[in-house]
């Protein structure tokens, strides 16, 4: 009997082992498995500014214009374009062979409806629409944008690289209410979204669009020929980064989009893994003032903060390894055409004596600064304690209040007094591609109630931003941008605390990733 | 007995009512705004306000509650703010991994912990007893995620026997299913084994000193028969109780285990929903967990009568 039981047990164990081994068979070599920075929950890239949704947009949609790796705006869906001598009429002609995922041809009406939907939601889109007299179709492939008065940022707006990106959608989709989330995911981009395989919290699946017609030029940044060399891309939701690192080490996944900086040394030691710095512009840590609340309603008090801080302390506290950060005082990002230190040369050097002198001149009365401290996002958690230390050394009293990021996001929208549930300041991080000029960078908006949380109110700043938006000459644009930056040192709306980079971790058999502000999967091969 | 079961089932209604009110109020009184989360970091106040109105969050709290509870009473748990899917479909999609993890953990834990506890009691004061107690203390003390990482390092990375993460549904093949669920179940069962083994040992030890055990031995019964038929059965009520209480530990542990192993279960759904303030999803998941907890307690109460005929309701 015992012998019989043992025999059955052995047989069952052998069968189970065989079944397990059979199930461990490798998946197709052309399936790329990626752990993104977040799980995809919303699929409408116009409804939200969340970066994961923007990235989803780049998979399935195409754009009229795109930014290349030199930060120049290049035609993408557009074949040719021209502007009238009076700078008021832009005429765009779409490329031949553009088609939606369902096979229908892309036409001018689709582009017009998409621009209108985006223009209703996005801040740069709203600005463009405020200058627009009409958008009209000339024929199936040609349409015109007619302006009320010259506007210098037409192409920059249509080629805007980051949220909200003016993705082109079918007219039937784009004509819907821009404040209602779309559910139809038909695009004309290089990948097709497999809605039937989408399991929120588990994975998002894209397959190659076999009918996509890439441009002839080589891919560069977000522009050029989007040649798809993979059959399938899967975005896997792995919330725990240590698990994601274990999974890439074990070759269960191919790529981690944003591995945490403290695990980079572990990944760097693995001979099968490459750390690829895909985004040369990186990100910018930012300190935001609430200009409605005393004492930050006084520009001189805010200037004191610009003297008290230095970027290195913030960058060391969060990033650590100087390989992945750069001290950069340029408010329109180092390495871009508008980069400049104007107005900030003597600031961000932790000159506490100067900061104290300004506080005395401003009559600072010791009101505690309510500093919101986000604790749950690794990349932000160490910023507020560093800010607190510098502010205290400069003579401020600081009440640092810890909370999760979503609580902070809700609270920063409140205009209440800091003692009654409002706030004085918080720290965040911008993707550099979102802050490349004074109109794009939302924190410069100083239109009082219409400005972003913090609500700066400064006619001079608004006048400069308006001048910038009307100017199309690059040299004059740069001069205006410098003036904006100088004004931001006199009337500080926010402070940049350093440029930082996050490399993509990928297995060495993955090739062809492009450098750019958004990680894209065309041109990528898996050997 | 039937009357007892009926009474207990009816008692679920007020329990769920209280849970519903508490969850609804706690979520609304907790800081955080789902509209701000949905809108994204670069959104303006106007965009956030539009989304808030779109979700009905600009209405008075009382109206929001009655709209929600009215739908729940009709079996409609609403739509997730984020996924634009019904909460019921989201939960259905996430039930299997959590159920599989819980059932496998229970099977492993009970089949290991009860014999361990009985043997420890039988060998009271000996090496095995001390080893079981040491394991129990360690099992309680080491956090679930540490156990998880250790098992991943040894069995997935070093020995390459199991995958580091992920889940395969039972329908995708039994082999793939067990390859993916084994390590998470082992991880979660450690704390459960520690809990049940300790209680089993204490209960059996207490029973072993009873007169009827001495009588059974005097009758010439073997140690195995005395232990299994007389001691264990009489010690079973507290063991069953702790297994039931342990379900709460299991639910808490599942949240961590699902994160460590990347399992798309209800635990992770709860965490994601809380972090993003997805009110309809949080409310439905907590109601579901409450129902599970109440039903398990009912089953345990019924189990008492089967194990000990003297217990009557």
Give pLDDT, residue A25.
40
CB distance A221 to A67 below 8 Å? yes
- Choose the closest CB to A406 out of B166, B269, B275: B275
Give pLDDT, residue A6.
47
A273-320 residue pLDDT tens: 999 998 889 999 999 999 999 999 999 999 999 999 999 999 999 999
Subunit contact B262:A239, Cβ cutoff 8 A = yes
Q: Pick from A162-166, A231-235, B88-92 the range whose average pLDDT is largest.
A: A231-235
Report CA B285 to chain centroid distance, whole Å.
Answer: 13
Q: Which residues of B touch A252 (CB under 8 A)?
A: 163-166
What is the distance in angstroms between the Cα of B133 and the nearest Cα belonging to chain A? 30
What is the distance in angstroms between the Cα of B304 and the nearest Cα belonging to chain A? 33
Query: In a mutagenesis test of the B interface, which of A410, A430, A494 is the best target, namely the one with the most B β-carbons within 10 Å?
Result: A410
Least trusted range by pLDDT, from A106-110, A501-505, B216-220: B216-220
The string over B63-95, giving b where at least 16 C-beta atoms fall within 10 Å of a residue's C-beta and e elsewhere, is: ebbeebeeebeeeebbbbbbbbbbbeebbebbe
Least trusted range by pLDDT, from A150-159, B14-23, B122-131, B300-309: B300-309
pLDDT at position A23 over 90: no
Q: Which residues of A touch B157 (CB under 8 A)?
A: 246, 249-250
- Choose the closest CB to B32 out of A42, A163, A410: A410
Confidence of residue B42 (pLDDT cuts 50, 70, 90): low
pLDDT at position A3 over 70: no
- How many Å apart are CA A434 and CA A284, to the nearest integer? 10
Contacts of B204 (CB under 8 A, 6+ apart): B117, B118, B121, B122, B227, B231, B232, B235
Give pLDDT, residue A74.
96
Q: Which residues of A touch B259 (CB under 8 A)?
A: 239-240, 243
Q: Which of residues 266-305 of B touch A (CB under 8 A)?
A: 268-269, 271-272, 275-277
- Per-residue pLDDT, averaged over B194-223, amounts to 90
Give pLDDT, residue A100.
97
pLDDT at position A20 over 70: no
Subunit contact B44:A376, Cβ cutoff 8 A = no
Q: Which residues of B touch A410 (CB under 8 A)?
A: 31-33, 36
pLDDT at position A24 over 50: no
Q: Pick from A10-19, A434-443, B36-45 the range whose average pLDDT is largest.
A: A434-443
Q: What is the ipTM of this complex?
A: 0.77
pLDDT at position B188 over 90: yes
pLDDT at position A269 over 80: yes
Give pLDDT, residue B91.
92
Burial category of A364 from C-beta neighbours within 10 Å (exposed 0-12, middle 13-18, buried 19 and up): buried
CB distance B266 to B95 below 8 Å? yes
- How many Å apart are CA B90 and CA A89, to the nearest integer? 49
pLDDT at position A270 over 60: yes
* Beta strands A31-35 and A232-236, pairing class: parallel
Mean pLDDT of chain A: 91
Phi, psi of B250 (to 5 degrees): -60, -45
Q: Which of residues 133-192 of B touch A (CB under 8 A)?
A: 149, 152-153, 156-157, 160, 163-168, 172-176, 178-179
Q: Which residues of B touch A121 (CB under 8 A)?
A: 47
Give pLDDT, residue A19.
44
Q: Which tokens hold the place of B172?
A: 């995708």
Give pLDDT, residue A22.
42
Contacts of B254 (CB under 8 A, 6+ apart): B98, B101, B102, B188, B265, B266, B267
What is the distance in angstroms between the Cα of A111 and the nearest Cα belonging to chain B? 23
A50: closest chain B residue by CA: B40
Give pLDDT, residue A484.
97
pLDDT at position A346 over 90: yes
Task: Return the half-sphere exposure (C-beta side, CA atoms, 13 A cut-off) of residue B142.
Answer: 21
Q: Is B83 on the interface with A (CB under 8 A)?
A: yes
Mean pLDDT of chain B: 87
Percentage of the residues of chain B whose pLDDT score is greater than 70:
98
Give pLDDT, residue A109.
97
- Per-residue pLDDT, averaged over B151-174, amounts to 92
- How many Å apart are CA A403 and CA A405, to the nearest integer? 7
- Per-residue pLDDT, averaged over A374-392, amounts to 93
Q: Which of residues 369-388 of A touch B (CB under 8 A)?
A: 376
Q: Which of residues 19-58 of B touch A (CB under 8 A)?
A: 30-33, 36-45, 47-48, 50-51, 54
Q: Which residues of B touch A402 (CB under 8 A)?
A: none
- Choose the closest CB to A49 out of B40, B83, B179: B40
- How many Å apart are CA A515 and CA A512, to the nearest integer? 9
Subunit contact A201:B82, Cβ cutoff 8 A = no
- Per-residue pLDDT, averaged over A471-486, amounts to 95
Phi, psi of B239 (to 5 degrees): -65, -45
What is the distance in angstroms between the Cα of A172 and the nearest Cα belonging to chain B? 19
Contacts of A141 (CB under 8 A, 6+ apart): A93, A94, A96, A107, A108
Subunit contact A20:B262, Cβ cutoff 8 A = no
Confidence of residue A29 (pLDDT cuts 50, 70, 90): low
Q: Which residue has the higher pLDDT, A430 or B276?
A: A430
Subunit contact A199:B264, Cβ cutoff 8 A = yes
pLDDT at position B174 over 50: yes
Q: Is A153 on the interface with B (CB under 8 A)?
A: no
Subunit contact A39:B272, Cβ cutoff 8 A = yes
- How many Å apart are CA A398 and CA A418, to the nearest integer? 12
A275-286 residue pLDDT tens: 999 888 999 999
Give pLDDT, residue A1.
40
Q: How many CB atoms lie within 10 A of CB A363?
A: 10
Give pLDDT, residue B313.
65
Give pLDDT, residue A211.
92
B109-150 residue pLDDT tens: 999 999 999 999 989 889 999 999 999 999 889 999 999 999
pLDDT at position A114 over 60: yes
Phi, psi of B276 (to 5 degrees): -100, 5
Give pLDDT, residue A182.
87
- Choose the closest CB to B37 out of A53, A252, A406: A406
Laid out side by side, the sheet with A504-507 consists of A191-193, A203-208, A232-236, A31-35, A255-256, A504-507, A273-276
Give pLDDT, residue A296.
97
Confidence of residue B223 (pLDDT cuts 50, 70, 90): confident
Give pLDDT, residue B15.
84
Q: Is A50 on the interface with B (CB under 8 A)?
A: yes
Give pLDDT, residue A169.
97
Give pLDDT, residue A313.
97
What is the distance in angstroms between the Cα of A336 and the nearest Cα belonging to chain B? 21
pLDDT at position B260 over 50: yes
Give pLDDT, residue A78.
97
- How many Å apart are CA A211 and CA A98, to the nearest integer? 9
């Amino acid at each position: 009997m015992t012998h019989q039981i043992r025999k059955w047990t052995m047989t069952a164990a052998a069968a189970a082992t065989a079944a397990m081994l059979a199930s461990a068979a490798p998946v197709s070599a052309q399936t790329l498995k990626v752990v993104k920075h977040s799980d995809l929950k919303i699929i409408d890239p116009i409804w939200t500014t969340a970066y994961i949704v923007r990235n989803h947009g780049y998979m399935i949609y195409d754009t009229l214009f795109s930014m290349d790796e030199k930060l120049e705006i290049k035609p993408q869906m557009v074949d040719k374009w021209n502007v009238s001598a009076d700078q008021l009429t832009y005429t765009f002609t779409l490329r031949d062979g553009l088609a939606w995922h369902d096979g229908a041809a892309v036409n001018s009406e689709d582009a017009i409806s998409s621009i209108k939907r985006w223009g209703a939601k996005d801040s740069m889109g709203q600005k463009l629409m405020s200058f627009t007299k009409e958008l009209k179709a000339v024929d199936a492939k040609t349409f015109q944008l007619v302006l009320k008065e010259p506007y210098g940022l037409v192409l920059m707006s249509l080629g805007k690289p980051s949220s909200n990106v003016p993705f082109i959608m079918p007219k039937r989709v784009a004509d819907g209410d821009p404040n209602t989330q779309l559910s139809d995911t038909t695009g004309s981009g290089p990948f097709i979204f497999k809605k039937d395989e989408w399991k929120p919290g588990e994975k998002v699946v894209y397959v190659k669009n076999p009918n996509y017609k890439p441009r002839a030029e080589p891919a560069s940044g977000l522009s050029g020929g989007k040649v798809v060399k993979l059959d399938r891309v899967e975005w896997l939701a792995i919330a725990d980064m240590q698990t994601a690192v274990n999974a890439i080490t074990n070759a269960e996944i191919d790529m981690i989009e944003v591995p945490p900086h403290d695990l980079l040394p572990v990944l760097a030691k693995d001979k099968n893994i490459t750390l690829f710095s895909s985004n040369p512009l990186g990100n910018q840590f930012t300190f935001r003032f609430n200009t409605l609340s005393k004492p930050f309603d006084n520009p001189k008090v805010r200037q004191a903060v610009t003297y008290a801080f230095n970027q290195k302390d913030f960058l060391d506290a969060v990033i650590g390894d100087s390989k992945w950060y750069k001290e950069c005082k340029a408010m329109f990002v180092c390495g871009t055409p508008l980069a400049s230190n104007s107005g900030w040369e003597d600031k961000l050097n932790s000159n506490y004596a100067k900061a104290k002198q300004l506080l005395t001149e401003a009559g600072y009365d010791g009101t505690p600064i309510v500093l919101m401290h986000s604790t749950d996002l690794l990349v932000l958690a160490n910023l507020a304690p560093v800010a607190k230390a510098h502010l205290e050394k400069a003579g401020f009293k600081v009440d640092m209040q810890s909370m999760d990021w979503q609580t902070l996001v809700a609270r920063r929208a409140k205009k209440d007094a800091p003692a009654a549930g409002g706030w004085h300041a918080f720290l965040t991080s911008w993707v550099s591609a979102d802050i490349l000029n004074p109109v794009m960078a939302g924190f410069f908006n100083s239109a009082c109630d219409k400005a972003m949380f913090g609500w700066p109110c400064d006619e001079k700043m608004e006048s400069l931003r308006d001048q910038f938006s009307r100017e199309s000459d690059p040299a004059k644009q740069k001069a205006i941008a410098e003036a904006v930056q100088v004004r931001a040192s006199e009337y500080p709306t926010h402070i940049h605390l350093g440029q930082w980079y996050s490399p993509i971790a990928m297995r060495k058999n993955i090739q062809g990733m492009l450098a750019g502000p958004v990680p894209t999967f065309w041109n990528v091969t898996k050997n | 007995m039937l009357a007892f079961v009926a009474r207990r089932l009816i008692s679920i209604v007020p329990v769920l009512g209280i849970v519903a009110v508490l969850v609804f109020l706690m979520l609304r009184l907790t800081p955080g705004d789902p509209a701000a989360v949905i809108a994204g970091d670069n959104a303006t106040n106007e965009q956030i306000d539009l989304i808030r109105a779109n979700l009905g969050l600009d209405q008075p709290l009382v109206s929001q509650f009655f709209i929600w509870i009215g739908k729940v009473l009709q079996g409609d748990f609403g739509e997730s703010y984020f996924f634009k899917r019904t909460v019921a479909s989201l939960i259905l999609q996430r039930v299997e991994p959590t159920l599989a993890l819980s059932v496998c953990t229970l099977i492993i834990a009970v089949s290991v912990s009860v014999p361990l506890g009985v043997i420890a009691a039988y060998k009271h004061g000996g090496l095995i007893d001390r080893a079981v107690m040491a394991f129990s203390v360690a099992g309680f003390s080491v956090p679930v995620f540490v156990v998880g990482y250790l098992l991943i390092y040894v069995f997935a990375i070093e020995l390459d026997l199991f995958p580091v993460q992920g889940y395969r549904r039972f329908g995708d093949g039994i082999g793939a299913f067990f390859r993916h669920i084994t390590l998470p179940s082992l991880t979660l069962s450690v704390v459960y084994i520690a809990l049940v083994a300790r209680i089993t040992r204490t209960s059996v030890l207490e029973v072993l000193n009873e007169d009827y055990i001495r009588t059974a031995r005097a009758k010439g019964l073997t140690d195995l028969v005395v232990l299994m038929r007389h001691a264990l059965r009489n010690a079973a009520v507290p063991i069953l109780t702790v297994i039931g209480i342990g379900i709460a530990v299991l639910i808490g542990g599942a949240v961590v285990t699902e994160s460590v192993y990347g399992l798309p279960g209800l635990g992770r759904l709860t965490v994601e929903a809380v972090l993003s303030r997805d009110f309809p999803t949080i409310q439905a998941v907590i109601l579901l967990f409450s129902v599970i907890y109440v039903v398990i307690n009912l089953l345990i109460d019924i189990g008492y009568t089967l194990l000990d005929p003297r217990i009557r309701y």
